[in-house]
């Protein structure tokens, strides 16, 4: 096995940074949507809005876990660089592998959140087809 160098874990930093930016933008969008749904529900409680709120709760929880896994991946990747710095290859390789696994888990949760987002849009579209 070839030794891990600074450049290998360093490759993950731009990807993680962009993903975290995307996750943050997603969170801001969901927060805005939540405020909008709350206002609509207070004006006129409706079962479809309740479905949207339930969906939104699940999406926010997924996004929280997605962000936590992304941040943990970045921490693990940074710790991997420390392993390279102190010339402890087994530690560096293990931490880098962990950061990759955490990033995979983060992406998988993000994919699930996207699926729920589409489901929420379908509820809205159904509302157009079947008016209240």
Q: Where are the domains of the chain?
A: 19-129
Q: Would you state the pLDDT for residue 17? A: 84
- Non-local CB neighbours of 95 within 8 Å, separated by 6+ positions: 76, 77, 79, 80, 83
Averaged pLDDT, 101-128: 90
Which of 35-44, 69-78, 86-95 has the lowest average pLDDT? 35-44
Q: Confidence class of residue 71 from pLDDT cuts 50, 70 and 90?
A: very high
- Chain position carrying tokens 């993950």: 12
Q: What is the mean pLDDT of the chain?
A: 90
What are residue 12's phi and psi, to 5 degrees?
-80, -25
CA pair distance 100, 106, nearest whole angstrom: 10
Residues 5-46 have pLDDT tens digits of 888 888 888 888 899 899 999 999 999 988 988 888 889 888
Write down the pTM of the prediction: 0.84
């Amino acid at each position: 096995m070839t030794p891990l160098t600074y450049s290998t874990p360093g490759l993950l930093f731009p990807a993680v940074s962009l993903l975290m930016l995307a996750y943050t933008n997603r969170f801001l969008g969901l927060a805005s949507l939540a405020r909008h749904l709350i206002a609509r529900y207070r004006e006129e409680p409706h079962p479809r809005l309740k479905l949207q709120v339930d969906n939104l709760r699940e999406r926010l929880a997924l996004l929280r876990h997605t962000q936590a896994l992304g941040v943990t991946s970045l921490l693990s990747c940074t710790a991997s660089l420390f392993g390279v710095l102190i010339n402890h290859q087994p530690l560096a390789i293990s931490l880098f592998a962990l950061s990759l696994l955490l990033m995979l888990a983060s992406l998988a949760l993000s994919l699930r959140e996207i699926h729920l987002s589409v489901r929420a849009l379908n509820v809205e579209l159904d509302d157009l087809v079947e008016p209240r």
